[in-house]
A and B are shown apart, each in its own frame.
Chain A
Amino acid sequence: NAGVTQTPKFRILKIGQSMTLQCAQDMNHNYMYWYRQDPGMGLKLIYYSVGAGITDKGEVPNGYNVSRSTTEDFPLRLELAAPSQTSVYFCASSYSRGATEAFFGQGTRLTVV
């Protein structure tokens, strides 16, 4: 199993550009999450999904969009990138939202200049 695969690993964007961060998991997990990690802060939840076709906002959703057309894929879309979106992004998945192990991707380091 590959687990959770994120691409790209690094990206530099100019202000106002758009991009999609890809996330795929092969564990047949229903629950998938996008987090951002900023220096000196704990990971913050951007969006999550409880299954194909269902998504919901987390703590910091502004400036982002997601879709979940299949169980495996959960892309994160940045529209009109801003410097405040410079961060490290992690995708994660779990079998449920309760007390179960979460599996994380390798992260995407995004810089907006």
Chain B
Amino acid sequence: KNEVEQSPQNLTAQEGEFITINCSYSVGISALHWLQQHPGGGIVSLFMLSSGKKKHGRLIATINIQEKHSSLHITASHPRDSAVYICAVQSPNKLIFGTGTLLAVQP
């Protein structure tokens, strides 16, 4: 079993929909990262969080340390949000990556 599990693996949404991507982990962590990877492109850090909730524009990330679970929400989704979203946990001095969620937002 992977130490970091993401769901769903693939997600197709219509423009404007509210999107949730989940991440569960089985190890102790000091922080959790949400990353975005566009097709053929590099990886960009969206959030780093160790507790609670963070918001940046239409993106919201939450983490529940007790349940070892994090969610990434996208409100009012747009085709430009189409990308792979990767969850990674810091445990303790190395990053452990999930396999990613491929999101396609259709106009």
Contacts and interface: CB of A to CB of B under 8 A. Distances in A.
Contact of B99 (A41, A58, A105): A41
Contacts of B88: 42-43
A97 interface: yes
Interface size for chain B: under 10, 10 to 19, 20 to 34, or 35 or more residues? Answer: 20 to 34
Among the interface residues A42, A58, A102, A105, which one has the most CB atoms of the partner chain B within 10 A? A42
A101 B99 contact: no
A95 B80 CA distance: 30
A105 B42 contact: yes
A47 interface: no
Contacts of A43: 86, 88, 95, 97
A103 interface: yes
Interface in B25-63: 30-31, 33, 35, 41-45, 48, 50
Given A40-B99, A45-B94, A99-B31, A90 B50 contact: no
A103 B4 contact: no
A107 interface: yes
What are the 4 closest A-B residue pairs judged by CB atoms, nearest first?
A42-B97, A99-B31, A106-B42, A104-B43
